Amino acid sequence: MKRSLALALLAAAGFAPAESPRRAEAVFAMGCFWSAEAAMEKQPGVIEAVSGFAGGHVKNPSYHKVIEGGTGHLEAVRVVYDPAKTSYAKLLDAFWHNIDPFDPAGQFCDKGASYHTAVFAANADQRTLAEGDKARIEKHFGKTVTTEIRDAATFYPAEGYHQDFAKRNALRYRAYRSGCGQDRRLKAVWG
């Protein structure tokens, strides 16, 4: 029996194979990866967000190595999304509105090289969209955006205790976010 006929017979009998969702990826450095993961997981069409590191020269870095410095890595989030339900442009919009793009030292109370912001563009289309957004933000605010637009880099997931931190440690995360002044600063920047 031909494959198409077999699939048609199964579908008619109510046994249609499940369609696997289309998947695309984006990587952003947004300061603390706990906040990045929490912000991106809320976006419609996002399948998962994973905390980790990108942009450095050390393979398989640990959290402690990255925050000590010298690895070149930024705390980052890998966003896996369904392009039929959202777009890279929408994820970029969420990225920009969850960072202070004018802070060259890090984000909110997290300062240092590992907390700098960046877009890791996987292709020319992602780069063009990110650079266009950056130029529009600079023009709108009349100041320099310190967020870098970089080429894609190897993404290394962080240790398990960092994954889904905002969900698993809700009270601790809310205290961190409030104490860091994140929401106040985002409101001051974006209104």
CA separation (Å) from 148 to 8, 36, 79, 140?
50, 16, 18, 18
Catalytic residue among 26, 27, 32, 66: 32
3-class SS at 140?
A: helix
For tokens 């640990």, the residue is 62
What b/e readout covers 128-139, taking b as 16+ CB neighbours within 10 angstroms?
ebbeebbeebee
| 32 included as an active-site residue | yes
List active site positions: 32
